[in-house]
Structure 1
Amino acid sequence: MTFRRALHEKENDTGRYPRGKFFLIAMLCSFSWYIVPGYLFKFLSTISVLCLVFPKSVLAHQLGSGQFGLGIFSFTFDWSVIVYLGSPLVTPFFAILNILAGYVVIVYIMIPVAYWGLNLYNAKNFPIFSTDLFDGHGQSYNVSAIVNKNFEIDNVAYEAQGRINLSIMFALAYGLSFATIVATLTHVLLFNGKEIYERFRASYKGKIDIHTKLMRKYQDIPSWWFHTTLALSFALSLLLCTVLKSEIQLPWWALIFACMIALIFTLPISIIQATTNNSPGLNVITEYILGLIMPGKPIANVCFKTYGYISMAQAVSFLQDFKLGHYMKIPPRSMFVVQLVGTFIASTINVSTAWYMLNNIPFICQLELLPKNTQWTCRGDHVFYDASVIWGLVGPKRFFGPLGNYGALNWFFLGGAIGPMLVWLLHKSFPKQSWIKLINLPVLLGATAAMPPANTLNFNSWIVVGFLFNFFVFRYRKKWWQRYNYVLAAALDAGVAFMGVFIFLAFGFTNVKDLYWWGNEGEYCDLANCPTVKGIQVRGCPLIK
C-alpha cells in the first residue's frame, strides 16, 4: 500500500516537498559523503571500539571485530556496508524484528555457547568466524594437494592430510540453512496454503483487481514468448552439458533435476520474499543433493547449484520487476523486452568487467598478499570456492555423513520442519494474539543466511538503521514515511553507486595508489582470527600456554 502511494501520489499537493527534488538532494549528499569512507578515511567503514581499547587481547578482538568476530560495539558510517544485505528502509518492521530475534539468538547465544562453553567440534582450535578451511591443527587446509589433474579428489592425499574443519560460525551457518529451507515449505503450507488454493481457483473464475483492469488496455505477453525463451535457454544448457562433458561435468539428467528443484521452490520462496523482503536460498540444499549423488565433482556441483538456485533467484527477481511494472502501469510487452535485452547487456558487461579485473588488478582475491582494508578481497567468491570444496570436491558424506565431523547438524532439517508447526498450533490456540502469526521462522532461522560472506558489522548496522528508522519515523512521521521512504532508499543507493564508479575510474582505473595512513589500515582487529586453545601456534597470533 505504501509503495503504491509513493508511485501514484500527486506531486503538486500543497505543503509537500517534491519527491524529485528530495531524491536529487539526498543522492548528492550520499554521493558527496561516500568518498570519505570509500577512499579518504576507510576506517569509518568499520570502527571496532573494543579492538582499539584492548589492542593485544584476543578475546576483545573476537568480541569486538565487526569483520571476524561478534561485532560488539562495532559500527559504521558507510552506507555500502549497511546495504550489503539490502536496504533496511524497505524491509517491513515485523521482518526486521524476526531477523533481530534470530540474529541475537544465533550470534550472541548459540555461537558463544558452542565456542567458549562447549568447544563444539574443537571450535577453539580455529577462529570464531572465518570462511577458511582448516586442518586439525588450526592451519589452513592445503586444498590443492588433494585435487588431481581432472579437478577431482585424490582420496589418498585426502586421507593423508585428514578431515577438513570449519569455524563454528561457518558450521552452524550450514545447519541453519538446512532448517531454513525446510521451514520455508512448512511455513508456506500452513500459513499460506489456503490462500494459494483460493487465489488459484479465483484465477479461473476471472476475478480481477483494479490494477489488472487498468493493465488490460495494454496487449498481454503471448505465451509463446515465454515458452521460446525457456526452450532456447534449456537447449543451450543441454548443449553445454552434452558437448563440453569434461569441462562442465554435469550430466543431462542432473540439469533437468536442477530445473525441477527451481520450479518447485519458486512459489514458496516468492511468498516469503513478497511478505518479508527476505528470500531463503537454495544454494546449500542444491549443493547437498548433488554432493550425495555425485561426490568428488566440484565443477558439476557448482553448475547444478547455478541451474537450481540461481534460476529460482532470477525467477523471483523477474516477478518482482513485473509486479513493480504492474503497479506503475508499464506495458507488459515493454517490460518483457527490457528484461530480455537487459539480461544480454548485463551478462556481457559482467563477464567483461570480471575478465578485466582478474587480469589488471594485482593480487585480486589473494587475501595474504592484499593490503589491509582493500576492497578486492572477494568475500563472496571465497565462500563460493569453499562451498565447491565442501560439497563438490570432498562431498557431504565426508562432512555431514558418517565420514565427517558435522553429522549432528542434519538434525536441523527436523527442527526446520517442526518449528513452523509449533508456531501454527500456537496461533490456532490463541487466535486473538495477532502477533503470533508474525513469527516467521524461515526469516528467523535464516536471519544469518547471508553470513558468510556478510559479517556481524553488516548485520548490526542493518538492524540498527532499519529498527530506528522504521520505529521512530513510522510512529511519529507516518505520512512522511509513506511519501519519501522508498525515494530516500533509492537516493542513498544511487549516490553510493555513482561515487563508487567515480572512485574506481578516477583512482583505480588510472593506477593512482591508495592513501596509506592509519585511517586506511583496517579495523585493527588482527587477533580476531586467532585460535584460543593451548598449544596451537598460528602466524601473527600469540601462543597460549
Structure 2
Amino acid sequence: MVNVRNPFKRQTSVDATTMPTLEQRLSDEREPEDVKSPLDEKDEALGGVEQHHEIHNPWDHVAAEDLDENGKERAIEGAEDLTTRCISLEDDPEMPIYTFRMFFLGIGLTAFAAVLGQIFYFRPQTVYVSALFLQVISFIIGRAWGAVMPNARRGKIWAFLNPCVFTLKEHVAINIMCSTATASASAISVFAADELYYNIEPNYGVAIFTLMASQLFGYGLAGLTRAFCVFPTWIVYPNLLPQVQLFDALHREKDASAQKKRLKLFWIVFISIFCWEFVPEFIAPTLTGISIFCLAKRDSPWFTRIFGGANGNEGLGLFSICLDWNYVGSGGGALGALFSPITTQISQYSGILLCILIFCAGYAGNLWNAKSFPFLSQQLFFLNGSVYDQTLILNPDFSLNKTALEVYGLPWYSMTNAMYYLGCNLAIGATFTHIGLWYWRPIVNAVKSFKSRSETDPHYQKMLVYREVPMWVYGGIMLSSFAMAMATIYTGHAELPWWALIVAIVLAIFLFPFVCIINAITGFSTEVQQLAQMLGAVVVPGNPQANMYFTLYGVNACGQGIALARDLKLGQYTKLPPIATLIVQVIGTVVGAILQLIIMKDVINAQRPLLLSTQGSNIWSGQQVQSFNSQAVSWGALAKEFYGHGSPYAIIPYCILIGLAVPLPFYVLHRFFPRAGFNTYVTPVTCWCLGNLSVGINSSIFMTVCLGFFSQFYLRKYKATWFRKYNYLCSAALDGGTQLFVFVATFALFGAGGSTVSMPNWALNPATGNYDYWSLRQK
C-alpha cells in the first residue's frame, strides 16, 4: 500500500489518559434516583461490570470483561455494548481516502443513482437505489479496479489511478457520496408541480440555487448540533448497524478465519434471498400473505378487513404469514425487525394493535361516515362515495372557488386515512415531550462534554486524531443557504413573502433536534410535513404555491440534516474524517441535484400529457407529483374549511397539542415504578402506528413481530455471541439481496424496461380475486 499522507489527520497528539473514564462520565450524567432516563436504565442493566478495557472486534472471541458469572458471554444490553461489541474500533489514520478512484466511482455512482431515482419518480413503479445496493456494487467495482488495473509499481500515472488496494475509507466515502442522490430532491417535486399545474418554469439558475439552498441548509443544522446528534454513545442510528458490520466484514482482517466465515455467510444469504425473491414476487404471489382465516371464511367482509392483507389496501393482515422479505424486511427504511431496538418494536407493535382495534371500531361505528367510503383508501371522496374531483372547486390559478365549494361540498377522507393523519400529528407532539422528559439531561451533558473535549465514546476518541470541521463552516453553510433561499423565492415566483421564509427556517431549526434525536435512538422518523403545511396555511392562507415552498424549507432541512448527521455517525463508526464526510456529501448533493433537475425537465417536456392524466401509462406516471400538489391544495386552499372549527376533521390539527400529553402518564408511572421500564416506552412510535395500516400491503406484520422478538430479545439476550457476529450482517445480506432483486426485476419483469412479463396463473398466482384468496374486493 502506498503511504499516502492523510491531510485531515490532526497533527497534535491526544493523551487519552487525561480523559474521564466511562464510569466517571456515567456518574456525572446520572439523574436523581427517582427520575432515570432510558440511558441510565441500560447502564444499570450492565450490573456495574467495568466495560471494554481492551479493543475486541466483533469477529473475535468474547472478551473476558464480557463474560458473566457462568463464563458465558453476557447479553448485549445498552448502546455502549452495542457500538463497541458489534462494531470494530480499529483505525488506520494513514489509510488513503482522496484517490482518483474514490472520486471517479463516487461521482459515477452518484450520477447513476440520481438519474435512475429521478426517472422512477415519474414511473408507476417506485424504485429506490438503496444504500446497501450501492455498497455492494461499489465494493465489486472498487475491488475489480484494484485487481485489474496496473498498480503503483508501474509508474506515477498508475500510482495516481490505482495507488493501493481498494480501502475501507474509499468505500465509505463513495457510499456516502452516491447515497445522497438516491431519492428525488424535495425541490424537484415543487418544480414539477410548478411546471405541470401552475405554468411556472423557473430557469436553470434559479432552480439550481433553490436546490442548493433547500438541500444544504440541513447540513449546517446537523453540523452545529453534532455534539448531541452524532458524538455520544447513546446516539446509535440503528439502521446504520447492518451497513457498518458489512463494511467491517468486507475490509477488516479478511484473512482471519472468523472473518472468512462471516463473509461466507453474508454471500450465501445474499445470493439465496436474491434467488428466493423470484418466488413470492413473481411465481407465487400468494406467499406474500398466507392466511388460514382467508381459506376458512372467504365470503365475510369483516374477515377480509381484519385478516386480509396480501394485496394493496385489502385489509389489516392480522396473523397473516408473509414469506416475502421485501415486506418483512426493512425495505431500505429506518425500521427493521433485525436491527430496530426491542423497545422501539414493542412500542410499534402495541401501536399497531391499537390501530387494528380503532380501525375496526371506527368503521363499525361509522366514524366520519366511514361506511360511505372504502375501508382503506388514500383518495378524497364526495359524501356519496365517488372520488372527489378537486379541480371543480379551484380557480385556474388553483386558489379556492368558494362558490363552487358551496355547490359541490367539502371532500372527505376514508376513516382510516383520517386516522393516519391524526396519528402523525399525535406523534409530532409526543416527540417534543418524549425528548424533553427523557433526554434533556444527556443532551446538556453531551454539549458540555463537547466543549471540554471530554466525550468518552470510544469511537469519538478514535476520531480525535482527525481535524474537526469548524463550527463557522457549518454556520457559513446555513447563512449562505438562507441567502440563496431569500433570493430565489422572489426570482422563482414562489409567492412566499420574506418573513414567511424566516418562519419556515425557524420552524426547521426548532424541529431538527427533536426529530434527529428520536431517529438516532429509535430508528423512527417523525413525519413533520403536516405540521409545516398546517403552519404554512396559517402564515400564507389560500395559496398552494406558497404552501409548497413553505413546506420545502420547513421540512426538507430536517430530512437533509438527519442524513448528514447519520453519515457523520457512519464516519465515526468507520473512522472516516469529518471533513471528508462533509465534502463527499456536498459533492453528491450538488451533482445529484443538477442531474435530477435536467432529467425532470426532459421528462416533463416529453411526457406532459401522460403526467397530467390520472392513469398515465405502464411507463410514465405523474402520481407522485399529483399527490404532492393535492396536499398543497388541500392545505393551501382548503385548510380553514377542511380543518377549521366545526369541520369534521377539526380534531386532526389539535392532535399536535394532545400529543404533548401522551408521554406524561409513562413519566409519572416511572416515578412510582422505576424498574418497570416505562421510561423505555417510545410513545411517538405508538402514536404514529395508530394509522400505520391505512395503506399498502399489511400481511407482513405478524412475521415482523416474530422476527423482531427472536432477534432483538432472544438472540440478543440468550445468544449474544451469535448476535454479535452475525445478526446485523444477516440483516444487511437479506435487505441487500432483496433490493438487488427488486431493482433487476423492475426492469426485466415489471415494466420499467418498457414491457411487462406475466406469470401464468396457477394455485399460488390466482387469476381473479386477491392473492390470499379473499374473493371479496373491498368497496
TM-score by length of 1: 0.85
2:107 equivalent in structure 1: none
Contact 1:39-1:514 at 8 Å conserved across structures: no
1:509 Cα offset (Å) = 4.9
Contact 2:446-2:455 at 8 Å conserved across structures: no
Distance 1:23 1:330, change over 3 A: same
Structure 2: give runs of 5+ residues left out of the alignment: 1-80, 90-251
Matches within 5 A, 1:38-117: 38-47=281-290, 50-51=293-294, 54-66=297-309, 67-68=312-313, 69-82=315-328, 83-84=330-331, 85=333, 86-105=335-354, 107-116=355-364
Q: Is it true that 1:491 corresponds to 2:738 in the alignment? A: no
1:48 Cα offset (Å) = 5.5
1:313 equivalent in structure 2: 559
Give secondary structure in 2 for the equivalent of 1:90.
Answer: coil
Distance 1:285 1:451, change over 3 A: farther
Query: Which structure dedicates a bigger proportion of its chain to helix?
Result: 1
Equivalent-residue separation in structure 1 for 2:615 and 2:307 (angstroms): 22
1:176 equivalent in structure 2: 423
Equivalent-residue separation in structure 1 for 2:430 and 2:276 (angstroms): 41
1:436 Cα offset (Å) = 1.4
Q: Deviations over 1:128-155 (max 9, x none)?
A: 2210111111111111212221122221
Distance 1:36 1:278, change over 3 A: same
Q: Deviations over 1:169-227 (max 9, x none)?
A: 11112222222111111111111122222222333333132433321222222344423
Question: What letter matches 1:479 in structure 2?
Answer: T
Distance 1:147 1:451, change over 3 A: farther
2:440 equivalent in structure 1: 193
Equivalent-residue separation in structure 1 for 2:339 and 2:558 (angstroms): 22
Give secondary structure in 2 for the equivalent of 1:88.
Answer: coil
Q: Deviations over 1:444-476 (max 9, x none)?
A: 212356555555335444434323332333244
Moved more, 18-27 or 406-415: 406-415
1:387 equivalent in structure 2: 631
Q: Deviations over 1:409-459 (max 9, x none)?
A: 45533431222122112111222x241111221122123565555553354
2:53 equivalent in structure 1: none
Equivalent-residue separation in structure 2 for 1:378 and 1:458 (angstroms): 28
Contact 1:128-1:529 at 8 Å conserved across structures: yes
Structure 1: give runs of 5+ residues left out of the alignment: 531-545
Matches within 5 A, 1:276-291: 276-291=522-537
2:467 equivalent in structure 1: 219
Identity of aligned residues (%): 26
Matches within 5 A, 1:353-392: 384-392=628-636
Moved over 4 A (4+): 9-17, 46-56, 348-371, 375-383, 448-455, 458-461, 524-528
1:370 Cα offset (Å) = 7.2
Give secondary structure in 1 for the equivalent of 2:758.
Answer: coil
Distance 1:429 1:44, change over 3 A: same
Contact 1:47-1:75 at 8 Å conserved across structures: yes
2:711 equivalent in structure 1: 469
Question: What letter matches 2:86 in structure 1?
Answer: A
Equivalent-residue separation in structure 1 for 2:689 and 2:620 (angstroms): 26
Structure of greater relative contact order (alpha carbons < 8 Å, 6+ residues apart): 1
2:748 equivalent in structure 1: 506
Q: Deviations over 1:306-335 (max 9, x none)?
A: 221221122112111101211211111111
Contact 2:282-2:759 at 8 Å conserved across structures: no
1:336 Cα offset (Å) = 0.9
Moved more, 172-181 or 464-473: 464-473
1:303 equivalent in structure 2: 549
Question: What letter matches 1:5 in structure 2?
Answer: R
Of 265, 278, 303, which aligns to 1:35?
Answer: 278
Equivalent-residue separation in structure 2 for 1:412 and 1:266 (angstroms): 20
1:437 equivalent in structure 2: 679
Contact 2:400-2:542 at 8 Å conserved across structures: yes
Matches within 5 A, 1:318-467: 318-348=564-594, 350=596, 384-395=628-639, 397-431=640-674, 433-448=675-690, 453-457=695-699, 459-467=701-709
Equivalent-residue separation in structure 1 for 2:699 and 2:404 (angstroms): 38
Equivalent-residue separation in structure 2 for 1:292 and 1:208 (angstroms): 42
Equivalent-residue separation in structure 2 for 1:50 and 1:378 (angstroms): 37
Distance 1:133 1:486, change over 3 A: same
Equivalent-residue separation in structure 2 for 1:516 and 1:365 (angstroms): 31
CA RMSD for the aligned pairs? 3.2
Question: What letter matches 2:432 in structure 1?
Answer: L
Contact 2:428-2:528 at 8 Å conserved across structures: yes
Moved more, 30-39 or 130-139: 30-39
1:207 equivalent in structure 2: 454
